[in-house]
A and B are shown apart, each in its own frame.
Chain A
């Protein structure tokens, strides 16, 4: 492997790491984790759609507010 290709590979890996981190921190990847876990625990059943999952999560947060705050 020449230096340029090696550099490209490193850059690609760094970019993937950044995207992974951003998706995890922002909560965007949460639905995927839910689907994975659902498939493991309830094989053969149909998980919620992304929209339905987000609504359920929102409702859960409304009913279980996080009461810690700030500064």
Chain B
């Protein structure tokens, strides 16, 4: 295969190109190689490798799809996910890259054009991949799959994987692409540029409301995990002094030593988790740190208001370091844990709840509500906002967009798969005991319910009344393995709570507790053994809560700037648009905190635990935002004259609109599921005068919650319908006028690139050769002086 021909620009002997290679190299006007044309080069070993991957993928899918009445290993889920991702990334994402994005490395990216030394600064693709993943990932994918597991694993695993391949990752990549072609403009700005003022305004308002809802929902999940748990409250509370120590250390003692600071913080964090165990065991200190949900809401609201007012370096930045480390480190630990622990799946492909609409973790039919409940791991509208933020300003070469945009979202989806594994490998009885609110337990247990029995006994009674089967086709059981013996029934729940160092695990809705149990099972298998389960459980709670609180911190800030921008549109309030104006800052922070704080408070007061009411509103708003992303992308694709490939964003757009609009309609009009129906039945029970004391107060809270969620549902529907109408109108007028071309959009005109960098995670041999030539090229030398 050595048909090397000396190339024009006298490359060194080890960088000689073949004729085929030379034809693919893109050179700018001074002969500098600045890129390589994307092309699939097939060799026999490569073809064989992909054939093997395809066979393994098909085999793994068939194991998951047709397994009935037999044990299967959770590793199949990992295999299914990874092989599907690989095929999608290599073929479908590549197809989109060639047909729609038409990435051209001859063109300079925003980072190369502007290079202001701040945001517009070329970042190494592997580094940017990590940073982009850290920016898009949050606690969302850890929650949805846990709640959806009540219907069995198959619908969830199908949606997480197919959803990310055809919708979620496509959205992230194409949003990144249109933003990168427009100097990293934001979602709202692009909507204004391409679809007019109305479109831009809708997105701006939408983003504020969606951010507030996301924060309220995620904070609710964290609070559900921390309520009445002195261990969790203490260790999470300790993150505040830890962050302060880290902040001061980095600012005064060792400026700029981020890694050192992070390691210091992590060590303190582990100590705080160990310390939490001692606090929980201490009869004097434990009650001090035992806070109920409402107290935690007040603490959280006060805290995040303070965090927004304090300088960044003191609290927010160090917390960001910690949660980024935890995010990436824990994901790696978990993947290893799943492989080593090799847990058996307990849940069948479909449970009886899959064909019903009254499951405990979320209400409504599989379609559309499962696709709403699993939002972030498969498709998340928020990523549209993130992808049009900092990342497009730092991309070195256009050809890297696939790896950064599509690749990061695949990792996010993989997180959701891990969460799903956590939920389906614990005993179903334990799962339902944890994920039913006290009211649901009472209703399900029926005559077996006894007010004088312990919550564990009632939960076990409720589980025994549910006709849900396990993977072997038998009625599900409450089981827990403790110190080598298997305990069942109420004792199992007692033993589980005791093993992980909690008072009780019953009715710990929200998914965080379930995830923590699963995660502790994986990690104890190779780090510390049986005795370490309590530590890993609280490590997992800490991981998730830290994640969520970082989101709440950032979200409050983001919402505050968004509110400031919105208010700044009004002439008399123009001053609010200035982010340095202190009084304005305080007012917008107050508005942002009040927005999510109120929703959160109503959520915890809800008799059904709040999660049940909040999941749909969170999922719908997030997925509707995705519809907005796909609409914008479709407009850009059509305007660029690529109408025949518009199906790539249009198919997920249609699916997403079908899911969200059906769900939203049901949430407004359905006599069982609707928020207004809930409100009127609550109103009736309040009017009947049978409620008193806290029950009455909670009923009022649930009532306002239902009204608020109902109004928000209507608001979302109207807003997004208007946005889609504007989008369709833009598409139609573009097609009618036959006015196609990049120059008619807000896309930046071509500018010659002077820079080379490889495209994928690992540089190919050709890329290394070109890199070598690039670095030693006379034109490059002249530029460096």
Q: Would you call B139 and A68 a contact (CB within 8 A)? A: no
> What's the nearest-Cβ distance from chain B to residue A41, in Å?
9
Q: Which of B127, B134, B312 contacts A62 (CB 8 A)?
A: B312
Q: Which of A33, A50, A58, A69 contacts B554 (CB 8 A)?
A: A69
**A5 / chain B contacts, CB cutoff of 8 Å:** none
**A27 / chain B contacts, CB cutoff of 8 Å:** 258
Q: Which of A58, A61, A71 contacts B622 (CB 8 A)?
A: A71
**B558 / chain A contacts, CB cutoff of 8 Å:** 65-70
Contacts A25-B130, A37-B117, A71-B218 known; A50 to B211 CB distance under 8 Å?
A: no
Q: Would you call A25 and B389 a contact (CB within 8 A)? A: no
Residue among A25, A34, A62 with the highest chain B CB neighbour number at 10 A: A25
Contacts A28-B259, A70-B138, A71-B376 known; A40 to B126 CB distance under 8 Å?
A: no
Tell yes or no: B256 within 8 A of A by CB: yes
Closest to B122 in A: A33
**A62 / chain B contacts, CB cutoff of 8 Å:** 312, 579-580
CA distance A71 to B551 in the complex (A): 7
Q: Which of B256, B312, B389 contacts A68 (CB 8 A)?
A: B389
Q: How many residues of A contact B (CB 8 A)?
A: 31
Tell yes or no: B177 within 8 A of A by CB: no
CA distance A21 to B258 in the complex (A): 13
CA distance A21 to B126 in the complex (A): 8
Tally of A-B Cβ pairs under 8 angstroms: 99
Tell yes or no: B386 within 8 A of A by CB: yes
CA distance A39 to B88 in the complex (A): 44
Chain A 33-71 interface 0/1 with B at a Cβ cutoff of 8 Å (1 = within): 110010010010000001100100110111111111111
Q: Would you call B214 and A70 a contact (CB within 8 A)? A: yes
Closest to A37 in B: B117
B window 613-645: CB within 8 A of A: 622
Tell yes or no: A22 within 8 A of B by CB: yes
> What's the nearest-Cβ distance from chain A to residue B350, in Å?
28
Q: Which of A21, A26, A61 contacts B321 (CB 8 A)?
A: A26
> What's the nearest-Cβ distance from chain A to residue B624, in Å?
14
Q: What are 28 A-B residue pairs whose CB atoms fall within 8 Å in the complex?
A: A23-B259, A25-B130, A25-B131, A26-B321, A28-B259, A37-B117, A40-B784, A50-B255, A54-B255, A63-B580, A65-B579, A67-B186, A67-B565, A68-B186, A68-B385, A68-B386, A69-B382, A69-B554, A69-B555, A69-B558, A70-B138, A70-B214, A70-B386, A70-B551, A70-B558, A71-B218, A71-B376, A71-B622
| Interface positions of B (Cβ within 8 A of A) | 117-119, 121, 123-124, 126-127, 130-131, 134-135, 138-140, 186, 211, 214-215, 218, 255-259, 262, 312-313, 321, 324, 376, 380, 382, 385-386, 388-390, 551, 554-555, 557-558, 561-562, 565, 579-580, 622, 784-785
Sort A-B residue pairs by CB-CB distance and give the 3 closest, nearest first: A68-B389, A71-B138, A71-B140
